[in-house]
């Protein structure tokens, strides 16, 4: 079946087929991680819609909106190869018409960890995701675990606002050397890429421990060894549902999350660890 490209709301309505729909929201620059999301989505619904939209609301004034990679033709090939039925690729003015006033507020959870480093980011992310849900009307939406706080925030929004969409989290896809796939990896020089491997090494070092203090210390030791080439933003061990720091007595699943800048590129990564 030929891939349908919907450039606006009218095209999207015409493109919607019969049966269940799984949505894979992306900002384009698709890589193997995105392919895995489309494959996962195909197991949950009759047809897959991939949205490609670089959302200006989730970029801060000093972030990389203007240089974010845009590879639309290559992205369409990926969607075709992976069996997506529709690509929804609206213009900014289509998603945010003049006079727009109402947005989603992420609340306290959107102001901690990644939200503390990127004020307003989760407000913008949740606003566009809710708009995509309302436009596409999927039964299921698939998101990657690499953006663990984003996944947690979307689950919180769906629960709090009674949005009738099932949220599926898909595992992080990594290079053979452990680097988590990201559209921003293409910005890394060969030397920067070697430094960036400290993120996954730190997570593995932390995962080898079981007590929160020891997990944080083991991960921090690896990251400290990579300075000054790696500029650490945060290292956090958090509850996967709330993203609040876990106490020393915590048992169950936790997320060890890290963000750092290598050269001009900011990367994030995380790993789920079972404590106790």
Binding site members for ATP: 27-34, 144-147, 173, 181-184
Bind-site residues for (R)-pantoate? 58, 150
Spatial CA neighbour of 153 closest among 117, 195, 121, 119 = 121
Three-state SS across 59-95?
CCCCCCCCCCCCCHHHHHHHHHHCCCCEEECCCHHHH
Could you give the C-alpha distances from 158 to 19, 33, 164, in angstroms and in order? Answer: 22, 24, 7
Tokens of 212: 């929160």
Closest CA to 26 of 2, 58, 66: 58
Asked if residue 195 lies in contact with residue 262, where contact means CB atoms within 8 angstroms, the answer is: yes
The residues that bridge with 259 in the sheet, in sequence order, are 234, 268
Half-sphere exposure of 183 (CA within 13 A, CB side): 20
List residues with catalytic annotation.
34
- List residues forming the annotated binding site for beta-alanine: 58
């Amino acid at each position: 079946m030929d891939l349908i490209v919907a450039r606006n709301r009218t095209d999207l309505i015409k493109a919607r087929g019969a049966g269940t729909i799984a949505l894979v929201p992306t900002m384009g620059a698709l890589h193997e991680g995105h392919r895995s999301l489309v494959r996962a989505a195909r197991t949950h619904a009759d047809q897959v819609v991939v949205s490609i939209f670089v959302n200006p609301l989730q970029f801060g004034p000093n972030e990389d909106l203007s240089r974010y990679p845009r590879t639309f033709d290559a992205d369409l090939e990926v969607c075709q190869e992976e069996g997506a039925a529709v690509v929804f690729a609206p213009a900014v003015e289509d998603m945010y018409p003049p006079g727009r006033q109402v947005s989603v507020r992420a609340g306290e959870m959107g102001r901690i960890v990644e939200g503390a480093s990127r004020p307003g980011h989760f407000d913008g992310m949740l606003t566009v995701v809710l708009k995509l849900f309302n436009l596409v009307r999927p039964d299921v939406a698939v998101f990657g675990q690499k953006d663990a706080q984003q996944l947690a925030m979307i689950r919180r929004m769906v629960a709090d606002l009674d949005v009738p969409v099932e949220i599926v989290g898909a595992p992080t896809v990594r290079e053979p050397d452990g680097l988590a796939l990201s559209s921003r990896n293409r910005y890394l020089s060969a030397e920067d890429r070697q430094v960036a491997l400290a993120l996954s090494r730190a997570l593995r070092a932390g995962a080898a421990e079981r007590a929160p203090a020891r997990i944080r210390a083991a991960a921090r030791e690896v990251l400290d060894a990579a300075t000054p080439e790696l500029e650490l933003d945060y290292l956090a061990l958090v509850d996967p549902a709330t993203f609040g720091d876990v106490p020393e007595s915590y048992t169950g699943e936790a997320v060890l999350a890290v963000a750092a800048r290598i050269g001009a590129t900011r990367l994030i990564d995380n790993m789920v660890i079972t404590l106790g």
